[in-house]
C-alpha cells in the first residue's frame, strides 16, 4: 500500500499482463501448507506486470531518487555498492545484497517498527516491445503481511507505470 515499506515476493495466477503469488498450498507430509509459505523463505509474494516501455527506461526510473522513493519510501536512496546500506526517511533500511545493472536488485529491507528484515528482489526483463517488472519479497511474517505486501507491490507497479506514461 502507498506509504507502507516493502517486505516483497513472486507470482501466482496471471491476468491481463499481471502475475502474482508464490507457493500455492502444497502438501508437505504434515498437511497443506498455506498459500505463499515456503520451507526456506517463509511467506513470500511476487507481483509482476508487463509495461509498454523499454527496459532501460524502467531501470532508470527504479534506480533514480524519485523511483527509489516509489518502491522503498520517501527519502530512500539506493547504493550501487554490494553490502552498502539503504535508508528511507522513516527509518526503514536494509543492505544491497546483489546488483546486476539493468536487470536485477536484491536487498534486505526492514521497515521501521518491524522486527527482522525481509528480502526484496526487483527484476527488469525485456519482453517483446515492453518490459516485465517484477517485485518478489520473502521472509514475510504471516499471511496478513503477505496480503498487505501484495497490495503494496501492486500499488508500486501502478505508480511506476503512471510515472513512465507519456504526459
Q: Could you report the per-residue pLDDT of 95-151, keeping only the tens digit for each?
A: 999 999 999 999 999 989 888 999 999 999 999 989 999 999 999 999 999 999 999
Within-domain flag for 37:
no
Containing domain of residue 140, as a range? Answer: 44-164
Indicate whether 14 belongs to any domain.
no
Match 552498502 to its residue by C-alpha cell: 84
Residue 81 located in a structural domain = yes
Q: How many domains does the chain have?
A: 1
* Within a domain: 38: no
Query: Is residue 137 one of the residues assigned to a domain?
Result: yes
Confidence of residue 91 (pLDDT cuts 50, 70, 90): very high
Distance CA 130, CA 149 (A): 25
Evaluate if residue 90 carries a pLDDT over 70: yes
Query: Cβ distance 86 to 93 under 8 Å?
Result: yes
Query: Does residue 160 lie within any of the structural domains?
Result: yes
Do the beta carbons of residue 52 and residue 129 sit within 8 Å? yes
Residue 120 · residue 6 · CB < 8 Å: yes
In this prediction, residue 124 carries a pLDDT of: 98
As a whole number, the mean pLDDT across the chain is: 84
Retrieve residue 96's grid coordinates: 544491497
Is 141 a member of any domain?
yes
Residue 22 lies in a domain: no
What CATH number does residue 142 fall under?
3.30.530.20
Nearest by Cα to 45 from 21, 68, 15 = 21
HSE-up of 134 (CA within 13 Å, CB side)?
Answer: 24
pTM reported for the whole predicted model: 0.80
Amino acid at each position: 500500500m502507498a506509504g507502507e515499506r516493502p517486505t516483497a515476493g513472486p507470482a501466482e495466477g496471471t491476468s491481463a499482463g499481471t502475475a502474482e503469488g508464490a507457493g500455492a498450498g502444497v502438501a508437505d507430509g504434515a498437511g497443506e501448507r498455506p498459500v505463499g509459505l515456503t520451507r526456506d523463505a517463509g511467506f513470500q509474494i511476487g507481483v509482476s506486470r508487463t509495461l509498454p516501455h523499454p527496459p532501460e527506461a524502467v531501470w532508470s526510473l527504479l534506480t533514480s531518487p524519485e523511483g527509489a522513493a516509489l518502491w522503498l519510501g520517501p527519502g530512500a536512496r539506493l547504493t550501487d555498492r554490494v553490502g552498502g546500506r539503504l535508508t528511507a526517511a522513516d527509518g526503514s533500511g536494509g543492505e544491497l545484497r546483489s546488483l546486476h545493472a539493468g536487470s536485477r536488485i536484491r536487498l534486505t529491507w526492514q521497515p521501521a517498527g518491524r522486527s527482522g528484515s525481509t528480502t526484496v528482489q526487483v527484476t527488469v526483463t525485456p519482453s517483446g516491445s515492453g518490459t516485465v517488472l517484477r517485485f518478489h519479497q520473502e521472509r514475510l511474517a504471516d499471511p496478513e503481511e503477505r496480503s498487505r505486501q501484495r497490495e503494496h507491490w501492486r500499488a508500486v507497479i501502478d505508480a511506476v507505470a503512471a510515472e513512465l506514461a507519456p504526459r
